[in-house]
Amino acid sequence: MGILDFIKGELIDVIHWTDDTDDTLVWRFEREGHEIKYGAKLTVREGQAAVFVHEGQIADVFSPGLYMLETNNMPILTSLNYWDHGFESPFKSEIYYVNTTRFQDLKWGTKNPVICRDPEFGPVRIRAFGTYEVRVSDPAKFMTEIVGTDGEVTTDEISYQIRNVIVSRFSSAIANAGIPVLDMAANMPELSKHLSQRIAPELAEFGISLPNLFIENISLPDAVEAALDKRTSMGIVGDLRNFTHYSTAEALTTGAATPGNGGGLAAGMGAGMGMAMAEQMMMGPWGRRGPQTSDQALSSAPPPVPSAPVEKVWHVAIKGKATGPYSRAELARQVEEGKMKRDTVVWTVGLDGWKTAAELDELATLFTISPPPVPKG
């Protein structure tokens, strides 16, 4: 050690630390040979703690304040060095400043999906992420468990371990909570509080407290989210048949309202055909399952029974009087009996007046049909 360094070490009598970073947890006060002048002033600001380490052993811990480094302010260090009353010589000790403020907006998240059993969907893989806050609650324990001989410790050096603790406890917390997946979003504050309570005892063993932990999002696999979207869409659409008709009409109207837009009209027709195909996919080989619509009820009813054909009847004028009506078979019998001739006047519905039987093709044939000859006995 040069003479200048020696003089500098002898003249330094104020020990303090101002932190200009936002991630430093511990900083060691560097002094050549770790020599501290007896009676030096130690400044510990709010949000700090000063820890004296003597020959690898934690000695005195100073909370915020201004101290004169004397035997009455350093009981443990005095005891370790067997200093007598009135000791005023320089002494050797390492001084570590510990930042006791909150470190906020630290991230955590699940690298791999966490499997939980949902009462509605069964086994489901979920992912989650959020933020948390930490602070050093016990500087001496934190020095012993985490720092060791490291001259500077940042949040990056402990955040990985804390994230692992959070993720591992998140899996068991979700499993024991028994909250359905669809209700997790509404219960995130309760889940965050429950998870924080489970983690706090473990972090306390390292001298760290967890003021806040937040679950910002719980997500499902893409396949499950797609199924939920389809279920939601079906609930909104309601009657798919009516929705298909309405959507097709809207698409056709939009296409027709754009002059010369044949592509828009074709797209509208394509949309309607696609929706119709979707409706057909929901129907089984025997038709739609579930409540029938009015059209289906009509199509399933038997057709009406056809009415019997109405036989044409005739009126015959005999001696100036209208007789009848007679059927064609009855007229044929009258022809055989000789009561009706070719010049007999007849009338039926559809004629514009009385006509002779020979004028009507329907009756003229009655006079051309003759029975076969009678066999000889």
Give me the pLDDT at residue 294, please. Answer: 47
Give me the pLDDT at residue 298, please. Answer: 47
**pLDDT digits over 175-214, tens only?**
777 788 888 888 888 889 989 999 999 999 999 999 999 9
Sign, CA dihedral 135-140-141-145, equals: positive
Write the burial class of residue 188 (CB in 10 Å: 0-12 exposed, 13-18 middle, 19+ buried): middle
| Cis-peptide, bond into residue 325, ω within 30° of zero | yes
Tallying the residues shown for the chain, one arrives at 377
Kindly list the structural domains of the chain, giving each domain's residue range(s) and its CATH number in brackets, ordered by start. 3-99 (no CATH), 103-220 (3.30.479.30), 225-255+268-277 (no CATH), 314-367 (3.30.1490)
290 vs 283: CA distance, rounded Å: 10
**pLDDT digits over 58-112, tens only?**
888 999 999 887 766 665 665 655 455 554 556 777 889 999 999 999 999 998 8
Going by the DSSP 8-state scheme, the letter that residue 287 receives in this structure is B
> Which candidate, 242, 251, 335, places its Cα nearest to that of 295?
242
DSSP letters spanning 46-67: TTEEEEEEETTEEEEEE-SEEE
377 vs 361: CA distance, rounded Å: 37
**pLDDT digits over 51-63, tens only?**
988 877 888 899 9
Which of helix, strand or coil describes residue 271?
Answer: helix
Q: For 79-93, 110-124, 218-232, 299-313, which range has the lowest pLDDT when averaged over its residues?
A: 79-93
Query: From residue 72, how far is each of 32, 46, 86, 95, 320 by CA, in Å?
Result: 25, 23, 10, 18, 158
377, pLDDT greater than 60:
no
Give me the pLDDT at residue 138, please. Answer: 95
**42 C-beta neighbours (distance < 10 Å), count:** 22
**pLDDT digits over 129-183, tens only?**
999 999 999 999 999 999 988 889 999 999 999 999 999 898 888 877 778 888 8
- What is the percentage of the chain residues whose pLDDT exceeds 90? 23
